[in-house]
Each structure stands twice: as C-alpha cells, then as structure tokens.
Amino acid sequence: MTKQEQIRNNIDYREVYEHGFVGLTDVFGDDSTPCKTARISYGEGTKSVSDNRNLLRYLVRHKHTTPLEMVVLRFHLKLPIFVMRQHVRHRTAVMNEYSGRYSEMSDEFYVPTHEDISLQSTTNKQGRAEPLADLMEFESKEAAQMIFDACNKVAHQGYRDLLDLGVAREIARIPLGVGNYTECYWQINLHNFFHYSNLRRDSHAQKENRAFADPMFELVERRLPIACEAFNDYIFHAETFSRMEVAILKNFLSSMWVREDLITEEWQKQHGMTKRECSEFIDRLNIRKYQDA
Amino acid sequence: MTKQEQIRNNIDYREVYEHGFVGLTDVFGDDSTPCKTARISYGEGTKSVSDNRNLLRYLVRHKHTTPLEMVVLRFHLKLPIFVMRQHVRHRTAVMNEYSGRYSEMSDEFYVPTHEDISLQSTTNKQGRAEPLADLMEFESKEAAQMIFDACNKVAHQGYRDLLDLGVAREIARIPLGVGNYTECYWQINLHNFFHYSNLRRDSHAQKENRAFADPMFELVERRLPIACEAFNDYIFHAETFSRMEVAILKNFLSSMWVREDLITEEWQKQHGMTKRECSEFIDRLNIRKYQDA
Amino acid sequence: MTKQEQIRNNIDYREVYEHGFVGLTDVFGDDSTPCKTARISYGEGTKSVSDNRNLLRYLVRHKHTTPLEMVVLRFHLKLPIFVMRQHVRHRTAVMNEYSGRYSEMSDEFYVPTHEDISLQSTTNKQGRAEPLADLMEFESKEAAQMIFDACNKVAHQGYRDLLDLGVAREIARIPLGVGNYTECYWQINLHNFFHYSNLRRDSHAQKENRAFADPMFELVERRLPIACEAFNDYIFHAETFSRMEVAILKNFLSSMWVREDLITEEWQKQHGMTKRECSEFIDRLNIRKYQDA
Amino acid sequence: MTKQEQIRNNIDYREVYEHGFVGLTDVFGDDSTPCKTARISYGEGTKSVSDNRNLLRYLVRHKHTTPLEMVVLRFHLKLPIFVMRQHVRHRTAVMNEYSGRYSEMSDEFYVPTHEDISLQSTTNKQGRAEPLADLMEFESKEAAQMIFDACNKVAHQGYRDLLDLGVAREIARIPLGVGNYTECYWQINLHNFFHYSNLRRDSHAQKENRAFADPMFELVERRLPIACEAFNDYIFHAETFSRMEVAILKNFLSSMWVREDLITEEWQKQHGMTKRECSEFIDRLNIRKYQDA
C-alpha cells in the first residue's frame, strides 16, 4: 500500500491534491471539556444551564474563550512550503517541521490544475479572478503548467546535482521552489483553531490555503460536532456590522413592530435560537415590541 | 544613490551578502528601562543597588526577565525566504512581511560564495563541514554556483512568463526558490531577542542565519551596551553543566582550598565580578575556604 | 505636592477613586506606525490608499491586526488587587508588579462609595443590579461601608502587628484583603489593548474594572486618535449577528429596494463611510438595488 | 466521604495544607510523544537514535523544546489567592478560575503552621529566615497565628454580613484576604511546566509556592518519568556558570590531564552519561587529554 493509499483509508486523514494530506492524529478533550472547565468558573451559577450543548453555545456566543483553549488538536500535515508559510504565522500553534538540514527534501511539488490556474483579479489586488471572470484560455493554462513542470524539474535536478557534488543539504535545498512539499506536526488549541479557520477558510484566503483548511475543519467537526456547529453559527457565518451600519440598520427597521412572543416562537422553531437570543436580538436593533391586547 | 548605497550609509543598517540587509529602525527604551520597571517590583528593596549597571546585570544573571521584556526592538530586514522561515519560528515576535500575493517578487536570489559552499558535515547531520575539514575542490564549487545560477534564472524566467500569461501573482510565484529575497518588519522584545540571539548566533545555527543574526546583535549593542554585555557574560558565553557534570567538577575541585578574601579580590580585579558572585561561585562548587591565621 | 496631586497635574495620568491612578508613561509609535509597517506587506498594492487615515481604518475593519501590534503602550497603574487580578489575565501584556515580599504593602484600600455599593443583580448572576433597579437603602449602604472600613482596619492592624513580631513580609501580608492597593507597570501592544478595552469596558465587566479601563482608553485616544476612532467604529460599537440573525435580517429587508448611488451618497455624507463600505453593506444583506431609468 | 478524603484516596491528587490540593486530571501524550514529533524534523537523521530515552534526553539537553510542547498537562488546583497570583504570571498556561462574581467564596483560609511562620530574612530581602536562623519564639508564633485567625474571622464575617445586606457578591468579596482559597483548572504544556517548576520549586520561591509546585511535579513524574528525569539532570540540578566563572574553572583545571578512554568509561558507569557527553564535557573545559602509549 503506498503512503497515499494509507492516507485514503485512514478515517482521520484527508488527501489534498496529488501529494498532500491533512490528518488529525490526536485530540485532547471533546465537546464536554470546555463545559467541565467552565463550570469551575461559574460554580453554582451554571446549575441552571442544564446541558452541555447550551453551555457550549453560550460560551462561543459570548466569546468566553478560555474553556475552548482547554481542548487541544494535533495535526499531521503535508503541504507546499508556501502554504506552510501561512500556517506558521499562527503563533499560538506548536510545530515540528521536517528539516531540509537533516534530511533530503522530497521530489514532490504542487502544480496547480487547470481549475486552479487563474488570471490576476482585477478588483482584488491580492487574489485571483473569480471563476466566472476567469477568461483564461485553455492554451494559456497548458502553457502555465508546462512552465511549472519545467521549473520544478530544473530545481529538483539542481538539488540532486548539488547533493552529488557533496554540497551540504542545508545549502543544496536553496534552489527548491516554494511549491516543494514539506511535512509537519501542528498542534493548536480549539479557540485558536477557530481563529485559524475563520481566517484561512475565508473567501479572501488563497485558494490553496482553503484546500487544506477546509478538510482540517471537517476532521475536527467529526470529533467536536457541537463546538464546530457553534463556531459556524456564531463566528464563521456571523456578520459584524460597524457602528455606522448598525445605525443604518436601526433606521431601516425603525418602522417595524413585532409581537415578541409570536416572533420568538417562530425563530426558536425555525432557527433553533434560545428565547434569550431572540429577545436580545430585538433589543439590540431597537425593534419596537407590542403585546397582544 | 541605490538602495544598497543608502543602506551602506545608514548607521542603523548593515548590508548582508549582495542583496540583503538588517536595520534597527526603532527602539522602545534603553538600558535604563528594565531598571526603572524592575524598581517598582523591588520597591525599597533596590535602594541598595546604587546604579543601573549593577541592577541590569543582576536581572540578567538571575533570569528576572520581565523587566527586559519592557524594551522593544523593531527591525527592517531583507533576507532569503529560507532564513525568514527560521525567523518566523520565534513566535513572540510581530512580523509584517512583503506579500507575493499583492506585489511582484524581486529577481534577487541568495547565491552562496565559494566560502559558503561546503560539503555535508560527516559528524553533524544537520550542518556543513567545518572550514578546515572542507576539502571541496575549486571546480566543484564553481559547478555548484553554476547550478544555483541556472536554477534561479529558470525560476525567475518562469515567474515572468507566468505573469505575462496573466496568471495571478499568488500562483505565479510558486516556482521561485527559497533563496529568493523577501522583506519584513520584525519586532521583538529584548528578552526574546536575547533568546533569539542565543539560538541563531550559536555555532550550530545555519551559517546564513548567523550572517543576519550577528549584525542584528551589533546594532542592538550600540543602543543597549550594558544589557548586551550582561547577555554575553551570563547567557551567550556562559556554560551550563548537568547534574552529573557538576558532580564531576566538584570532585575535581575537592582537593582545593582557597583563601576567600584573596581570591575574591583577584577575581573582582581580573573579571569584574561582584563580591557576591565570587562567594556564590565558591559555594556552588563546594570549594573549601580558609582564612589567614 | 502629594503623590495624588502630582497625578492630578500630569496630563498623562488620571486619578481613579481615592487612592488609585492610571498613567500612560510611554508610547512606541503613533497613528502612522501601523500604516508604515503595513505598507511593506502590501508593497505597490497600497499606492492607491492615499492617506494614513483610510489605511488605518481599512486595517481595523478587515482585522489585519499585525500592523497594530507594532504600537506598544506602557502604563503605570495603581489599583486594588482584585482589579489587578483581571488585568493579569491578559496574557499578552508584560507586567512588573510591586512585590509584597520585598516591600511593605500600603495601608490604602478600595472602599466603594454609596454609588458603587449595589444589590446583587437578579437577572445577571455575575453582576450587581442596574442603577435604576438598585433599591438598596441609605442605611444599608452606610452599614456596608462600616463593614468595609472595619475589615480593612483589622487586616491592616494585623499586618502591622505581624511585622512588629518580626514575621517575614511574605507571610505577614496574607490577611490583607483583595481591596488593598498594589502598583505595576503594564505594557501591551495596541491590538491587544483594543481586545482588553473591548472586554473590560463592556457593560458586563465589573464596574471597578471599567473605572480603570475607561481612563486608560482616554489616555491612548489622546495619542492615537485615528486608531481609537477606528476601534470605536469597527469593534467597540460594532454589533455581530449570528448566522440565524443574519437570515432574519435579510428576511426583514427582503422587500427593500435601494437606489445605490443615492443611498451611498447619503451614507457617505452622514456616516463618513467609504463608497466601498456602502456597497459591501448592501451586498452583505442582499438588499436589492435599482438604477435610475 | 468528605472532599478532602476523596482527594486523599485519589492517586492523581495530593493534599496541600489543611484545605488545598493539586490534581493532575488529564495528560495529552506521554514520554513517547516528544520523540514521535521530533522524528518528523529529523527524518532519517534519527535512525541512529535507537530508543526514546536517549532521544528525549538529547532533546532536553540541547534545548530542542518544541517537541516537549506537544505534551499538555491539565491540573485541578485549590490554593490561596496569593499563591494563585504567582501561578497566573505564567502566561503560557490556560486557566479557568472559580469566580467570586458568580459564586460565593469559601470560608477557608491559609493559616501558616508554626513551622511556616518565620522571621524576615536578614540576608534575603524577599524571603524568610532559613530554618536554622529562625530564632522566633514559640510565644511569637502563637501570637502570629492568633492574628491570622482573628483577621480571617473578621473578614469572613464581614463578607457574610455584606451578603446578608444584599450587596452584590462581586463587591462583598473585597475584604477577603489573599489567604482565602480559590480553585482552578490550569493547563500548560510540558516545556512550560518545566520552566514553571524550575522557578517555583527553586529555594528562592516563596515556601507556600513550593508546597504546591513540588507535588505537582511528583504527579507529572509518575506519568512522564523519563522526561522528568531529563529535566532534573539537565535543567533543575544543572548549574550555569558565567563567562567569567568558566574562565576561572578552566584555569583551575589547566594543570589536569585525563586519559579520555578511562575517565569516560568511569563516568558512563558512575553517572550514566553518554560517551558524547563525556567527550564534550572535557572539550568545553579545555581539559588536556592523553592516550596510553
């Protein structure tokens, strides 16, 4: 069985591209861990919170983040150097990376498929064109792939030749491109993983970053479904509106009247919100309430 | 005046290799800062420490590190990606790096000189041969340089060609080697800079890392001479001996007798040690003392 | 001039309660610092951002936080131990605190005024009653103050008596209450100060924490007015709505049509929003646009 | 069974004083974890390191600290506020503490026994007298205890009276002394736990801190015996000598000659040192070697 076949058969791993993978090798804690540790802070105060799901959602919603830091995730990743360079910016993670000083670098390089080769965006200085706006021709994409392959081949051959001359590994690796694959263990707590996910799964993140960040999140979701659902509801799919935007929203809604009990009941049913969430939402937007006569 | 000439004429910058540089653009505090902040902890307790030099050396010697964290250093660095990859591992630093997604990467690459091209060490798995053991022939070094140049040329040409095809910058940069130069602001507090210096100026660090770390330290030394002297005396040139080694040392010295007043006087004069340092040194090694009859 | 009079006359200090104060002793950088360091990331990409104000607001709005970490604030604080216990939870700050092991603790204690003595909230398990709901009688408040004074007096007398017996300071301080004043230097970067301000100036923070956090923010505002305005607009006075709430909002607004050019012009004038902010706001809420025929 | 009896019968807990305890509730990883993660860095380079014990000792000895950060320890602690105030200074730990805003504070206070009530040290400004120098009389110790008891009683009664008046918990707790017990979960990785242990188990740490730090270390030792032995050998019982002291040591030993093979054999047997450690030790001190003719 090849390495990639082993990956494919391991429920805690996901293949990414031709050579890469993400694996969640170890998890310290589960959905009950933040609840258990939070209860020490709240003492008797949490008696009324009857179950873990509610408490966990409350913690995420109110940004009580330390209990989430008690859960720790250890990943095994194989990814191109330019993606690794983004990972390592997350300074709260602990990392052990394959060393090109000790060991020989692989001959594996990331080469984007046609789908991933795009024009520079005309509206976004830091990204590529949106799929629909991507008018790049088939021939250009073919040409681009040939350039990638040629560069990688030359760089890898240069590396081998330098090693054959006896040059030290730490020097010989210098011509290798940032598409060369590397490998690491990467450990981070749940709170900071959510922060990472929020940034790297964002539509503005480089697509290749999302290609790794997305399956990492799926692996975590399998192990901590409630926490991840809360993250999606209160962080990832939430929207923040500025002071000015809130003023405009309030103005838009200033002519509204809601009958709080009816609308709350509807929202609870339709969206799974708590009664308190409904009530706070109405208050935050100054929506006028009336009660049935 | 070219960029490199400007660097050469700026007292707070140092050139490194053909294309790189290190600059110390801003310093928050000076040698008196750790003393001022430490005095709040010690209150009246520091009345007896008459001057800053003594207090600063005391703080470094006894690893009272928070006062050193009050001094902050901001660097401007231009260095190859593979050196940057080491810098970024120091997680207490704050960094803003040039972005290959927003802007075009330079055509500047690190190519080691003959002096810096060495054989793999036979004794040290992670490094290159010691200069004296470096038996690499002139012809091999020439051949190595030709390989570096060829790889860089191909990679850079590939990058230009991809850009000419309209490929987004964030993709086009992928073939560029880790010897390509990048640029950043890098900010770190003095305590963590000492930790960085201790690791990256060590003889086991990759030579190219030391080539940047050494002039960085010199720039800091100009601004915080007393703190840096204390670092050299108590950290960088200090030696740590294990429990077992200390036992052997004590055994070696077990037949010694010293007349404490005489030997202390000599050490104070010769090494600039305080009386207390002398006395503690004798005690730590269980050296027997006698007094003049 | 007493210590408190000196504080009163120092433009960088603010008195808090009878014995406490906050001071902003040193600032590393100003409103231009995040811009200068951000420009290295964006390279040519920021040419179009003509001025610092726009760039700074852009950075805060889009949570590009590393440039904000380049600004560092050093505070000198005198505050009760129970407030200090909250400060120290902000782990990114550097602190040097007065030491009760080295020096004698002060005889100064925080005693809440009538205004600050309130009933336990009936709705909020962790706080005191809202001012309007505070039905505590004058006599009860008087009684409470007498208890505070009596406890402090006994504790301080106990401390003095223990010192008189010769008991080591580190033990003698044990009976002193958490209202006893302590003093520290507290250094934090601007990004983390904003995080601190957002939590500790929140209406759910203990009132005594806000009493220190509010004037700290004012002192910073004097030195970094543009950054602080951006913080207020995009963080402190912003509102985050959950996935469910955004769905409801979109539903509320689903019958709306706006003429984008007119409404944008109005918002720009009235709220000082950029054209891009207006456009993104409309899109985020799926508000339907029409153009003049 | 009382809470303290449960503690006494739990192998992962240790009682401390009358009311306190330390517990190691969860451990992420074991002695093999740092080895497994380190091997990804070293790749083939670690083939020669045949077993985990050697590799782990190598990592600790050479301060390769990231693999140690992969092991995470979760403690449950009950300790006086003034000891907690030291714990919280370790900023790499994650903590959830009992909240005096949500819940009522306990009536348990730390009162030092006769053994722990000592005079102020005359030589060490921050500590108490050494046991042998502790000439405090029995009557004084009795008097001191009476003062502690009286202060605690008054403070606790004040607290109860304030609660009875209806005063909010967050205010009512203010008179309680720093000897009052609190409780927390405290999570830290192994590398930083070693740093904590090195500082807080040091003879200069306050005795009450050591009283908690020592059994915490014992609990960890049970779970990670090899890592803890390496910590003891290379960090806790190691000695660091300054540049000046190393010069003196070299001078002391300058008249020595050792026959390397014999002395190495002896040290390996007696101290369990590796051959390489022996050889490096001799070289670091410039000890002259000879070989048998």
Structure-token pair, residue B121: 């060490």
Sign of CA dihedral C181, C187, C190, C193: negative
Structure-token pair, residue D226: 């090899």
- Picking from A237, A239, A242, the nearest residue to C234 by CB comes out as A242
Sign of CA dihedral A133, A134, A138, A140: positive
- Average pLDDT for residues B227-236, to the nearest whole number? 98
Per-residue pLDDT of C116-172, as tens digits, reads 999 998 888 888 888 777 788 999 999 999 999 999 999 999 999 999 999 999 999
SS (H, E, C) B111-146: CCCHHHCCEECCCCCCCECCHHHCCCCHHHHHHHHH
The H or E element that residue A79 is part of is strand A72-80
Would the CB atoms of C189 and B94 count as touching at under 8 Å?
Answer: yes
Interface residue ranges in chain D relative to chain B, Cβ cutoff 8 Å: 42, 45, 61, 125-126, 232-234, 237-249, 252-253, 256, 267, 271-273, 277, 281, 284
> What pLDDT was estimated at residue C51?
85
Question: One-letter amino acid identity for C235?
Answer: I
> What pLDDT was estimated at residue D131?
75
Q: Chain D closest CA to C277's CA: distance in Å?
A: 38
Alpha-carbon Rg of chain B, whole angstroms?
25
Chain A residue with minimal CA distance to D106?
A43
SS (H, E, C) B33-83: HHHHHHHHHHHHHHCCCCCHHHHHHHHHHCCCCHHHHCCEEEEEEEEEHHH
- Picking from A42, A238, A244, the nearest residue to C242 by CB comes out as A238
| CB pairs < 8 Å spanning A and C | 89
Would the CB atoms of C244 and A267 count as touching at under 8 Å?
Answer: yes
Alpha-carbon Rg of chain C, whole angstroms?
25
Per-residue pLDDT of D89-144, as tens digits, reads 899 999 999 999 999 999 999 999 999 999 998 888 888 888 777 788 999 999 99
> What pLDDT was estimated at residue B178?
97
Would the CB atoms of A169 and B121 count as touching at under 8 Å?
Answer: no
Structure-token pair, residue A168: 């030290």
Q: Which residue has the higher pLDDT, A187 or B132?
A: A187
Residues in chain A closer than 8 A to B128 (CB atoms): 168, 170-171
Question: One-letter amino acid identity for C245?
Answer: E
Per-residue pLDDT of B20-51, as tens digits, reads 999 999 999 999 999 999 998 876 545 555 68
Residues in chain A closer than 8 A to B99 (CB atoms): 126
> What pLDDT was estimated at residue A191?
98
Separation CA B268–CA B281 (nearest Å): 12
**What dihedral do alpha carbons A165, A170, A172, A175 form, nearest 10°?**
-170
**A164: confidence class by pLDDT, cuts 50, 70, 90:** very high
Q: Chain D closest CA to B242's CA: distance in Å?
A: 4
What pTM did the predictor assign?
0.95
- What's phi and psi for D186, nearest 5 deg? -140, 115
Q: Chain C closest CA to D78's CA: distance in Å?
A: 16
Set C160, C173, C200, C222: catalytic member: C200
Residues in chain D closer than 8 A to B237 (CB atoms): 242-243, 246
> What pLDDT was estimated at residue C43?
64
Would the CB atoms of B248 and D281 count as touching at under 8 Å?
Answer: yes
Per-residue pLDDT of B103-113, as tens digits, reads 999 999 999 99
Best interface-test mutation with D: which of B240, B254, B269, B279 has the largest number of D CBs within 10 A? B240
> What pLDDT was estimated at residue A41?
80
Low-confidence ranges of chain C (pLDDT < 50): 45
Other CB atoms within 10 Å distance of the CB of residue A57 = 22
Cα Dmax for chain D: 92
Would the CB atoms of A248 and C271 count as touching at under 8 Å?
Answer: yes
Structure-token pair, residue D78: 């009950």
Checking phi first, is residue C129 left (phi over 0); if not, alpha (psi -120 to 50) or beta? beta
> What pLDDT was estimated at residue C4?
80
Would the CB atoms of B151 and A148 count as touching at under 8 Å?
Answer: no
Would the CB atoms of C243 and A234 count as touching at under 8 Å?
Answer: yes
- Please state, rounded to an integer, the average pLDDT across all residues of chain D: 92
Residue A1 contacts by C-beta under 8 Å, 6 or more apart in sequence? A9
Separation CA C67–CA C51 (nearest Å): 16
- Picking from B43, B66, B95, the nearest residue to C103 by CB comes out as B43
Which among C142, C143, C166, C162 has a CA at the least distance from the CA of C154? C162
Per-residue pLDDT of B159-203, as tens digits, reads 999 999 999 999 999 999 999 999 999 999 999 999 999 999 998
Other CB atoms within 10 Å distance of the CB of residue B122 = 9
Q: By the 8 A CB rule, do A28 and A36 touch?
A: no
Chain A residue with minimal CA distance to C264?
A248
DSSP state string for D66-116: HHHHT-EEEEEEEEEHHHHHHHTT-TTSEEEE--TTTSPPPS-B----GGG
Q: Is the pLDDT of residue D37 over 90?
A: yes
Chain C residue with minimal CA distance to B64?
C96
Separation CA D145–CA D114 (nearest Å): 8
Separation CA B65–CA B60 (nearest Å): 7
DSSP H helix total and E strand total for chain D: 13, 8
Separation CA C27–CA C126 (nearest Å): 35
Separation CA B275–CA D234 (nearest Å): 28
Would the CB atoms of B42 and D125 count as touching at under 8 Å?
Answer: yes
Residues in chain B closer than 8 A to D247 (CB atoms): 271
Separation CA B80–CA B71 (nearest Å): 27
| CB pairs < 8 Å spanning A and B | 162
Q: By the 8 A CB rule, do D61 and D161 touch?
A: no
Would the CB atoms of C103 and B38 count as touching at under 8 Å?
Answer: no
| CB pairs < 8 Å spanning A and D | 91
Range list of β-strands (E), A151-276: 181-189, 239-241, 257-259
- Average pLDDT for residues B135-155, to the nearest whole number? 95
Question: One-letter amino acid identity for C257?
Answer: W
Per-residue pLDDT of A225-282, as tens digits, reads 999 999 999 999 999 999 999 999 999 999 889 998 999 999 999 999 999 999 999 9
Chain A residue with minimal CA distance to C198?
A63
Chain A residue with minimal CA distance to C66?
A89
Strands C257-259 and C288-290: parallel
Which among D31, D64, D6 has a CA at the least distance from the CA of D220? D31
Separation CA A268–CA A272 (nearest Å): 5
Does the annotation mark D201 as catalytic?
Answer: no
> What pLDDT was estimated at residue B44?
52
- Picking from B42, B72, B99, the nearest residue to C99 by CB comes out as B42
> What pLDDT was estimated at residue D4?
81
> What pLDDT was estimated at residue D51?
85
Per-residue pLDDT of A188-233, as tens digits, reads 999 999 999 999 999 889 999 999 999 999 999 999 999 999 999 9
Separation CA B40–CA D265 (nearest Å): 52
Separation CA D113–CA D142 (nearest Å): 9
Q: 3-class SS at D277?
A: helix
The H or E element that residue D174 is part of is none
Q: Chain A closest CA to B225's CA: distance in Å?
A: 30
Chain C residue with minimal CA distance to B28?
C28
Burial A210-249 (b: 16+ CB within 10 A, else e): bbbbebbbebbeebbebbbbbbbbbbbebbebbebbbebb
